[in-house]
Amino acid sequence: MATIARLPDIVANKISAGEVVQRPASVVKELLENSIDAGASRITVSIKDAGKELIRIVDNGAGMVREDALLCVERFATSKITGVEDLDSLQSLGFRGEALASISSVSHFELKTRTAAETLGLRFRYEGGVLAEESSVQGEQGTTISVRNLFYNVPARRKFLKSNATEYHHIFEIVKSFVLAYPEIEWRMYSDDDELFYVKSPDILERLNVFYGDDFAASMIELSEENDYLSIRGYLGKPAMQKRKKLDQYFFINRRLVQNRMLSQAVQQAYGDLLVDRQAPFVLLFLGIDPSRIDVNVHPAKLEVRFDDERNVRNMFCPVIKRSIQLHDFSPDLAAHENEPSAPRKFSFPDIPHRATTTDDLYRNYREGAFHQPAAPRESLWHQPDIFPSQPERELQEGEKPLASVLLAPIYDDDVVPNPKDAEPKIWQLHNKYLICQIKTGLMIIDQHVAHERVLYERAVEVMEHNVPNSQQLLFPQKVEFRPWEYEVFEEIREDLYRLGFNLRLFGNRTVMIEGVPQDVKSGMEVTILQDMIAEYQENASKLKLEKRDNLAKSYSCRNAIMAGQKLSLEEMRSLIDNLFATREPYSCPHGRPVIIKLSLDQLDKMFGRK
């Protein structure tokens, strides 16, 4: 006797609903995609009880005739494709023909629709996927779909829904993504009869301000790049806006909202050290690509996408993001702040009359404000002298210049070096921790430890990559005895330690003689620095996925940088700032902490009630 039987359609639809309709937000997404495909220019979203009691989508799209309206809730019925070859030229958001069948099978489902050619509309009511009522109704052109009591007949599924706050948040995020992706459409949203927003402006930046607060858009970096294979346009957020989650990262491929790990990782890589561990930048990016080069039929939810050549896409995508980031000033402003998340979430950023857009602009701003002199050309770090020599201080002979004035010569040319008699540099050290500098548009605060860390990090990377001589011999070699785990790490990075400038000789079991060290290592601290570097390297390796030399450079810079509490002379402060602005990324330390904070005169005037 046969044991295999074909499942009834109603059972198959309920099973399919488990993949297509995972939660109320899934229903909202599928219905909004249908409204957009129908050519709607106005869409209204209404929910009650976080979508558990009601989800209603009203659009002014093309509407449907009776035959289409009856077929649209049948499984595998669609107007988007006719054959498998159509998937290679897909322009619509929907195409599988499963969504309405799945939704109607697990809810009390109602569809109202009218085309422009008809005077009366049609109304169809379904109970658990079975047509219960058909009638004619008055109504405007378009389609209205109401989904009530979602999962009423699948109690196990309804039981696993999250709290109203969680489900509401997922719905709001889905609607927000469509509002940003389709600025040509007017959007309105209600929750429990309260209007959340009504957006008519076709300007994406204005829409960003609606969701994130006034002036949020002013903090965006706009980018646009196109070639024969791929087009990229959209907006990136400053690192000061980063979050410990990736909900505020929107990727659209051919205007389809997608989740793609490669794109997300490429953005993280492009931002690099500007991001703190586990934090993510705001991203709103639109990618255009030939539909035949992607596969959107990966999962019934249609959120995943695969590229035919993912490596090629990444190699094009990542440099565009990185180049856009490197052209902007990422030092945060003191007045910038953000409130706790809510829906819609609000952020506030100050109006800034002058915003430096490159490192050179901010350095010129500093030079003109501190010295009233033009900025100097930037040079490679390893051509510059040490910032803080390790030699002990001694009394100067008559007529002898201080050692700092020789070793700490600034990187600008002699003809623009400020004359102390004419212009005293306006730089101060606060609590032996922060450097405060007058700049042309206000003031700049620099964390001396992380600033020096950035300088040492980039110098270390350059030294190792270009095999630059960087070792100074010790008069008296130092002996260091490693613990077993330390020696294992030492063996792993031994070759790169040598390239960095450590001249090390094996001396018995797990014992090493330090005969030379890099020029930045403080005298008398050779053993401690080496052991601390190994410990830092091991900790980074266990927490972060870093390339070996990058990890070593970060460990080296962290353990050798000047510390908070160390008093600096005026020349040392000047030299540190000059060397900082000679780095590629002066706005963050290698671990992502900010180096520079600015406060404009405009902001100061507002704080003191002058404006």
**DSSP readout, 66-119?**
HHHHHHTTSTT--SS-SSGGGGGG--SS--SS-HHHHHHHTSEEEEEEE-TT-S
* Mean pLDDT score across all residues of the chain: 80
CA separation (Å) from 83 to 20, 68, 79, 296? Answer: 21, 18, 11, 15
pLDDT reported for residue 523: 86
Which tokens is 58 given?
Answer: 């009203």
What does the pLDDT average to over 496-525?
Answer: 90
User: What are the structural domains of the chain?
Assistant: 9-200 (3.30.565.10), 208-343 (3.30.230.10), 359-393+403-451+565-607 (3.30.1540.20), 469-560 (3.30.1370.100)
User: Which of the four pLDDT bands, split at 50, 70 and 90, describes residue 365?
Assistant: confident
pLDDT reported for residue 260: 84
pLDDT reported for residue 219: 79
What does the pLDDT average to over 311-335?
Answer: 76
pLDDT reported for residue 420: 45
Of the two residues 90 and 211, the one the predictor is more confident about is 211
pLDDT reported for residue 548: 86
Please name the residue that has the structure tokens 């402060």. Answer: 573
SS3 content of the chain, % helix, strand, coil (to 5): 35, 25, 40
Is the CB of residue 37 less than 8 Å from the CB of residue 92? yes
User: Which of the four pLDDT bands, split at 50, 70 and 90, describes residue 353?
Assistant: very low
Using the predicted structure, report yes or no on whether residue 510 has a pLDDT greater than 60.
yes
What does the pLDDT average to over 249-255?
Answer: 91
User: Which of the four pLDDT bands, split at 50, 70 and 90, describes residue 610?
Assistant: confident
Of the two residues 474 and 399, the one the predictor is more confident about is 474
Percentage with pLDDT > 70 across the chain:
75
pLDDT reported for residue 157: 84
Could you report the per-residue pLDDT of 263-272, keeping only the tens digit for each? 888 888 888 7
In 3D space, the residue among 283, 295, 282, 220 whose CA is nearest the CA of residue 254 turns out to be 295
pLDDT reported for residue 406: 33
What does the pLDDT average to over 223-251?
Answer: 79
**Residue 494 three-state SS:** helix
**Lowest-confidence pick of 101-105, 241-245, 415-419, 432-436:** 415-419
Using the predicted structure, report yes or no on whether residue 383 has a pLDDT greater than 60.
no
Residues 6+ apart with CB under 8 A from 71: 77
Which secondary structure element, helix H or strand E, spans residue 204, and what is its range?
helix 204-212
Could you report the per-residue pLDDT of 48-86, keeping only the tens digit for each? 999 999 999 999 999 999 999 998 888 777 766 556 665
Using the predicted structure, report yes or no on whether residue 352 has a pLDDT greater than 50.
no
Of the two residues 113 and 553, the one the predictor is more confident about is 113
- CA gyration radius, the chain: 31
pLDDT reported for residue 568: 92
Using the predicted structure, report yes or no on whether residue 496 has a pLDDT greater than 60.
yes
pLDDT reported for residue 333: 58
Distance (Å, whole) CA 26 – CA 28: 5
Is the CB of residue 96 less than 8 Å from the CB of residue 78? yes
Could you report the per-residue pLDDT of 413-433, keeping only the tens digit for each? 333 334 444 456 689 999 999
Among 107-111, 166-170, 509-513, 516-520, top mean pLDDT goes to 107-111
Using the predicted structure, report yes or no on whether residue 183 has a pLDDT greater than 80.
yes
Could you report the per-residue pLDDT of 195-204, keeping only the tens digit for each? 999 999 999 9
What does the pLDDT average to over 102-118?
Answer: 94
pLDDT reported for residue 592: 74
Neighbours of 104 (CB within 10 A): 27
What does the pLDDT average to over 341-346?
Answer: 34
